[in-house]
Structure 1
Amino acid sequence: MKHLILFAHPNPKSFNTAILKTTVKVLEGKGHQVTVRNLYEMHFDPVLKGTDFEVFHSGKKPPDVEQEHDLIAAADGITMIYPIWWSGMPALLKGYIDRVFSYGFAYRYNDEGVPVGMLSGKKGLIINTLGSTTEYYDSIGMTEAVKKTTDTSIFGFCGMEPVGHLFFGAVPAVDDATRQGMQKTLTEKLDGLF
């Protein structure tokens, strides 16, 4: 299986980086091919410009977007790893989605104006860290809101099968033993999914 990981955290010493390393290790250990797109290291340009629309409408693609399209097209599974900031994803990842999960590649509309996902056959997994506890996020309805805006409104909208969404809460406050437990949960989830 070919996996594409979209990683969005600016700190190479973050727990998100530890999650990334574990994810790569588990998947490669199972014989899967893994490609990581570290959006901060890549200095990916997240700004959707008017010129991007002009290029798309001409039937072409900006070169940086075309490279990402090739990687997505080749992937069987797409995993996003990022922290939840202000109840959403980092702006860099949102900009990546704006530019790369584009009309005519990730989705289109049929003659009745109904969206049609074009990335069917791919599995999608999301792994998030939170500053708050998961219990707090659950109690205010934010867990379900985040799932709606990502699992349903990105993966599902584009025709992908959302296969899981992991939330690791209170990451800045927990101790190393708790983080190790989170890594164990991650490993077990990856083993079960892939």
Structure 2
Amino acid sequence: MLTIHGVTRSRASRVVWLCHELGLPFRQVPVIQAYRLGNPQAPGAALNTRSPAFLALSPAGTIPVIEDDGLVLSESLACTLYLARKHGGPLAPADADEDALMLQWSLYAATTIEPESLTIQMLHRPGQSQPAENATLVADAAERLVRPMKVLEDRLSRHTHLVGDRFTVADLNVAEILRYAQGYGALMQQFPAVQAWLSACQTRDGFRQMWAAREAEAP
């Protein structure tokens, strides 16, 4: 059986969501990020990304990591792309062209959208007082996202999905990256096609199952 190492409140969410979409059974080992613990190496500390047992599996000390039929694979986007290709179906590429496009959109989101989106997720606190410096950093990150978001808006104003006019692993990967910035209305309201597409992605049963598991975990 496929094993996913990593709590769902991490990039493991991408792999968990995909497994639900595919109806793929899996076992999940709740490895937590070391930075969430006061002393990750203390006796009795929860299994975390600095635990020797996990580092033996993943020297980089990052989650998620999957084990599948003897393959040990890290990097969440590599994991989702691999599983989609292996198990096939509508989420997988139908041919070499679709394979290339799914890789293109996944890497585009990882390189041009994720860094700024993470800044927004970490610093934006709607309805709460926050340092002026944080608000400036969030606004600057959002401004840097306008150009790549325009690329997505153009694509999604002409197509229902990113590849093949159907929901695929490319949509899943990009949606989970963009989710980090979703709460910043000043950015998202500029891109109605992206908003509609993201909402459609997040109403899927696979996402809802993943999200319920995520919410059940300790913050």
TM-score by length of 2: 0.30
**Structure possessing the higher radius of gyration over alpha carbons:** 2
Structure with the bigger percentage of helix: 2
Structure with the bigger percentage of strand: 1
